[in-house]
Amino acid sequence: MEDLGRIGWELVAVSLAAIPLGISLWALLDIARRPAWAWGLSGRNQVGWMAAVMVGICSVIGGLVISGWYLLWIRPVVKAAEEGRITPPTRG
């Protein structure tokens, strides 16, 4: 019975550890599926974001921060450009 408890806790730990990896993979796949012209219209760099997410995957916190930033701030801009809603990039 003690082994079942230990296995259960290890499954919980592995599941929690997989969440950052899953979020990073979601971001990476989303970056890859957006067309290059949408990235160009949005003024963002597709290859740069792919590289940043891949480097971020090497560390849990880095992966969450970079992927989270992409999913919350960059993805909506690129998606809007893909849908034809183009806004000029802001500076400053």
- Mean pLDDT rounded to a whole number for the chain: 90
Q: Is 84 left (phi over 0), alpha (psi -120 to 50) or beta?
A: left
78 falls within a domain: yes
14 falls within a domain: no
Q: Say whether pLDDT at 87 is over 70.
A: no
Query: Which residue would you say has higher pLDDT here, 29 or 15?
Result: 29
4 falls within a domain: no
pLDDT at 92: 39
CB 64 within 8 A of CB 71: no
**Nearest one of 88, 13, 27, 78 to 57, comparing CA atoms:** 27
The number of distinct structural domains making up the chain is 1
pTM: 0.82
5 falls within a domain: no
Q: What percent of the chain has pLDDT over 90?
A: 72
Q: List C-alpha distances in Å: 14 to 27, 46, 71.
A: 20, 31, 23
CB 67 within 8 A of CB 45: no
Please compute the mean of the pLDDT values over residues 9-35 and round it to a whole number.
93
pLDDT at 4: 82
7 falls within a domain: no
Task: Give me the domain span that covers residue 48.
Answer: 20-92
9 falls within a domain: no
